Structure 1
């Protein structure tokens, strides 16, 4: 197994061996050997003594780990930390509060035992989520519907406060956001529609498919959940005629459609409930501008830029 040299070491193992041999085998004074190898007499003596005691094997860095760690967390308590993580899905702060430990100590224990971050695990099973990304735009497009309560005229609870907002929201109805997100680029096409019937979903996909084609993206596959509109013959016939392969998520596994689920959360946080709108019409007027910002300007950490940066026909349209 190859040995690594400490980052601050002045001498490599070969240099240490040469220095030690000068002192032990050839009888050089420590000061002369130190000057020759541009180090201190203390360092020269240390390597010479180690060579005398252990030979060439002693020229590599010894482990800096202490022989005893009396303040290390006891194995029984470490097992409790791991058990709480797997059974309760708690983070370091909550586990630490429950066991009377510092969150930093809990974090080190979780890291030492190879526990994945909660953000990278399936909350239902506790298993690490396998992240993936398609190699090219259009290889897979995620489609989903997000249902939102309409804002009554005059504002909802964010504008009026929760007690008045509850009395004011009766019969406001719902908005259905049909969303299509390209897996590779995260480019999104979205519309606010009145329902989630099969005819509405099919008409939306026709327009979404045309939009992706207009920016040079050829859709190869589309992934949806198991909603009735996506199991209809109308949907099946449309995607077949388009030459698109339809895939559905496994039941009760929404994370399989994670790209569009993440888009739904961003949409809710940064547009739908970002400010206290006075009416549903005011919120809908803000939607096209927000969607343009998401596609062309909003920095995506996984991409290193906005979705448009990964789409050739959109890369110059940042106005």
Structure 2
């Protein structure tokens, strides 16, 4: 028997007071009064449980708006663009002058089965976030692979502004090499100015710092040092340090996946250029307060490199003269040969490198064998230059 039936029976049949029944069952007197009045007006129907749903919902969105939400969700997803609640709300406001909260949009998407749960996704609160204060204060860079229609793999390198998320340069190549990384950096500087610093992972096209010191600076490292640009690299096996450019590449791949696979590198570059225009100028970014990267990049002054009084690269190398009497050294990522003489073949040596000036010393006797000033334009260094 329901408690409502007990209450009504106690009042109507037993003749007890409302206050007495309310005290016995732990109820309010006003609720007992309303229940008895309902019984006298409706009879046994008063015993049935009633919904607590309000008669009106002033904040509910109309079926027409729900249809717009669903259409925007499908349209954005088909284009490979972000189709989350915040983005949908932005498009509703910009294109239809309709204001809806992201929470309301998300509820409707969940009710319609349009949201896929992802319980394994790492929570945003677990990340240590950082952000440059000014455009050009820090550029992030990384490269990823993409497949053409014939199944061949190419690589895409990105330079992204950390402060504004502005995609400064996104270009496709057969393979990313050290010279290509340096060349894309130079082209980006020509278009947008020189940054104060760069942030990349430890790929050999960006840095040789984990190569054991054998190769010296590569082309990009030498270029950054010459310009006074601070070079920063993430810890090994820590991709979240470069999370902004990593996330950009995920967005790019999602957009490319929604399109016809390109048959050539030029076709892929055309698609990338189209995406870059959309990303920079027409796609709202959540971390920028729903502003576009282009607007964020242009509204603040640009940072510039800090003055660096000592840009010379010093290093010490141990090597052995080969059978032809030559020892090799890398400069700007290129290998150069220094002739010592066949009389010294197989001799262990120490190379003291001071920028382009190198001292070759016999490891056993301490004799100075040669001290050439490196000519970066020549592979084999002339013997007469010391």
What is the TM-score with the length of structure 2 in the denominator? 0.41
* Richer in helix (by share): 1
* Richer in strand (by share): 2
What is the TM-score with the length of structure 1 in the denominator? 0.50
